[in-house]
A and B are shown apart, each in its own frame.
Chain A
Amino acid sequence: MTDHAIRVSSHRGEPRVSPIYDPKVRSIFFQILTAVVVVLVTWSISHNVSVNLARANIASGYSFLAGRSGFDIGFAMISYSSDSTYGDALLVGLINTILIAVTGIITATIIGFIIGIGRLSKNWLIAKLCTVYVEVFRNIPPLLVIFFWYSGVLSSLPQVRDSLKLPFSMFLNNRGLAFPKPVWGDGASLISVAFLVGIIATLAIAMWAKQRQMRTGKQFHTIWVGIGLILGLPLLTFLALGAPLSFDYPIAGRFNLSGGSVIAPEFVALYLALSFYTAAFIAEIIRAGIRGVPKGQSEASFALGLQPSTTTRLVVIPQAMRIIIPPLTSQYLNLTKNSSLGVAIGFPELVSTGGTTMNQTGQAVEVISIWLVVYLTISIATSLFMNWFNAKMALVER
């Protein structure tokens, strides 16, 4: 066929081919075809869902979110009771998901950095211990790591009536860690204002110090001044206001400790499990990133007379970051998504409260769509932030 077509067109002496063989036309045709198929499949699925729901007499729509939920949640960061709405229940779950994601990401990054650098250590014992850590946690499914921590936490801690008494009126038992809840008095908001002022002042000083160093080469101890400002200012305000702070202490009641704040074992188990699991992957990324910087870079840096610590900080790490950040982003996304496994140990994150809502209202399609949209939004936001960070860290070509 092809030979024939070419021969026909060459006979006429024009380099024209039939539209069927024109790569441009073909590519447009196939793109349209793909789009049509995608639209058709999406339409048929959504159409089927609505038809099937209607036939089964299942109510649809999102109005159920405003209804009274009627169930309680054990671990809520915002005020929530059984009189709150299903929307509130989902919000409680969302906040818990974000809480576990943020704390988990911070801890996993710190552990990951330590283990990753540890694997590169010249000390045989440290390097091997870090290798063992990575291999153990990387090769166990995250759900098992969560169960391990949960049953570990539950079975190793004492019963509530034999709580471990810790300093500062803290109690540890298998229902969590209870500690005194700070109750702020009048004018306490000024303290947070002072804290913010400290941060802004530190940033300003850092910018000034950088410019001065560029101009004169003189260095400035920004870190110590910054710590002084960020901690000192709120402390001074606190003292000036006459220490407006009291504590609500946990007291042993008939069944439980009452009063104070409690960190639930479900949260601790999920937090530790996700941190330790993800840290194993982050460690490998860090190691790969540092290994990826050519040795010549640090040798050149030494030749210029820079100290080893300065070499690491100013030459090796900035270049390693370019390799580290993109895969690090996917690990952060993984951790966020893995937080949904908390449902297995009864931590009320989004999937858990959503599941209860789904079951009480029967609105499976709606709740699942909310899950999808929320996780997608969180993930895309994380990606955008990390892309911005990546662009900032990328090598500026001059």
Chain B
Amino acid sequence: MKKTLLSAAIGAAVLGFASAASAATLDDVKAKGFVQCGVNTGLAGFAQPDSAGNWKGFDVDYCKAVAAAVFGDATKVKYTPTTAQSRFTALQSGEIDLLARNTTWTVNRDTALGFNFRYVNYYDGQGFMVPKSLNVKSALELSGAAVCVQSGTTTELNLADYFKANKLEYKPVVFEKLEEVNAAYQAGRCDVYTTDQSGLYSLRLSLSNPNDHVILPEIISKEPLAPAVRQGDDKWFDIVTWAGYALVQAEEFGITQANVDDIKKSSTNPDVRRFLGVEKDTKIGTDLGLTNDWAYNIIKGVGNYGEVFERNIGANTPLKIQRGLNALWTKGGLQYAPPVR
């Protein structure tokens, strides 16, 4: 009797192990009642808790958009702050459902690491920041400098490549956590800080004298930042993908958080009516496994791409980042959404 009980217990444990990771993410998320979203540990404008402890930022809004699409409620998100090193393990292991953490889309991450990316939410490039007092005008003058960089990033690899290609010497000073890199740069442990340019603008704000530091003109890499999900769950991948595209499409249509209710009621444009899920007998949402008003919920919850951009990192924020490459394709940028039909 004892033996059978024990073996049954072992069997159950073994089965339990195996089944835990195999359920579909959408069902998991619906059962939990929230989206578990991996974000940065604290990068002003992209993901940072405010004084009340609420997460705010560009990446955070992408988490909210997915929650809005699934639940019709943008607040149903729980955030997992991840370091550059812990982010991939967190996603691989299923600890988080979605990684929206200024992560560069590369072929290695798309294949060997077992992730899927489909759209770029922010086109970025790697830059350098130096104290003004060093009087440096170009990255090519940086030979012999000590460079602070976060470990486990594409930044770390680009840095090595750039200095090697230009036959410059440098001394890497590497930390795992962003806060540690900031502290080291401020303490003068290194001369140069390198990361994505958007990150540099954000970090400069957190320094005690932002005006004493300049960002050099060189962009040494392409850094397409994109949300990532695990491979092998196409349904969830589609939802995350189209939640992102809906933000861009909404901007293209001129639909904002403020006017979405009016447009939903009064619009006669069939494209817009289909997008907002008010067309007759539409399956625009149910095919995704969502309700038909998923796009409406996203816009109602977080606004369109332009609003998300301007609210968190745009010209009226302390970061003062121009749209540049991130303008809509109709305005000379690269942000483009496939048709929602």
**Contact surface of A with B, Cβ cutoff 8 Å:** 33, 37, 40-41, 44-45, 48, 51-53, 55-59, 70-74, 81-83, 154-155, 159-160, 174-175, 253-256, 258, 265, 343-346, 348, 352, 355-356, 358-362, 364
Contact = CB atoms under 8 A, between A and B. Distances in A.
B99 to A, nearest CB: 13
Contact of A256 (B17, B22, B108, B146): B146
B187 A48 contact: no
Of A74, A154, A160, chain B has the most CB atoms within 10 Å of the CB of: A74
B144 A265 contact: no
Given A48-B18, A70-B157, A253 B151 contact: no
Contacts of B161: 70, 82
Interface in B169-188: 169-176, 180, 184, 187-188
B109 to A, nearest CB: 7
Contacts of B160: 70-72, 82
A331 to B, nearest CB: 27
Which 10 interchain pairs have the tightest Cβ spacing?
A359-B152, A362-B113, A82-B160, A58-B114, A56-B114, A255-B145, A44-B14, A346-B175, A70-B157, A72-B172
Given A155-B187, A175-B190, A362-B113, 17 more contacts: A44-B17, A48-B21, A52-B21, A58-B112, A72-B159, A82-B160, A82-B161, A253-B144, A254-B141, A255-B146, A256-B146, A256-B171, A256-B191, A346-B180, A362-B88, A362-B112, A364-B92
A175 B85 contact: no
A348 B14 CA distance: 38
Nearest to B181: A346
B69 to A, nearest CB: 24
Contacts of A253: 144
A48 B16 CA distance: 10
Contacts of B174: 73-74, 346, 348, 352, 356
A154 B180 contact: no
A73 B169 CA distance: 13
Interface of B: 3, 6, 10, 13-14, 17-18, 21-22, 84-85, 88-89, 92, 108-109, 111-114, 134, 141-146, 151-153, 156-157, 159-161, 164, 169-176, 180, 184, 187-191, 230-232
Given A253-B144, A362-B113, A51 B189 contact: no
Contacts of B13: 41, 44
Contacts of A356: 85, 151-152, 156, 174
Contacts of A74: 171-174
B153 to A, nearest CB: 8
Contacts of A348: 174
Given A44-B17, A51-B18, A159 B113 contact: no
B interface: dominant SS = mixed
A33 B176 CA distance: 44
A361 B114 CA distance: 11
A346 B188 CA distance: 15
Contacts of A37: 6, 10
A364 B89 contact: yes
A245 B245 CA distance: 67
Contacts of A361: 108, 112
Nearest to B160: A82
Contacts, number: 142
Contacts of A344: 176, 180
A40 B231 contact: no
28 contacts: A40-B14, A44-B14, A56-B114, A56-B231, A57-B111, A70-B161, A72-B160, A74-B171, A74-B172, A83-B164, A160-B146, A174-B189, A254-B144, A265-B189, A345-B175, A346-B174, A352-B174, A355-B85, A356-B151, A356-B174, A359-B151, A359-B153, A360-B152, A360-B157, A361-B108, A362-B92, A362-B113, A362-B114
Given A72-B172, A74-B172, A56 B157 contact: no
Contact of B17 (A48, A174, A355, A362): A48
A59 B189 contact: no
Contacts of A71: 151, 156-157, 160, 172
Contact of B134 (A58, A70, A255): A255
Given A72-B172, A256-B144, A356-B151, A57 B231 contact: yes
Contacts of A41: 10, 13
Of A40, A57, A155, chain B has the most CB atoms within 10 Å of the CB of: A57
Contacts of B169: 258
Nearest to B17: A48
B22 A55 contact: yes
Given A45-B17, A255-B145, A265-B189, A55 B134 contact: no
A70 B170 CA distance: 14
B187 A174 contact: yes
B189 to A, nearest CB: 6
A198 B142 CA distance: 48
Contact of A56 (B180, B190, B230): B230
Contacts of A53: 114
Given A70-B160, A175-B189, A57 B232 contact: yes
A82 B172 CA distance: 11
Given A59-B112, A154-B189, A174-B187, A346 B145 contact: no
Nearest to A160: B188
B279 to A, nearest CB: 37
Contacts of A83: 164
Given A44-B17, A57-B231, A59-B112, A352 B151 contact: yes
A58 B184 contact: no
A154 B114 contact: no
A256 B145 contact: yes
B92 A355 contact: no
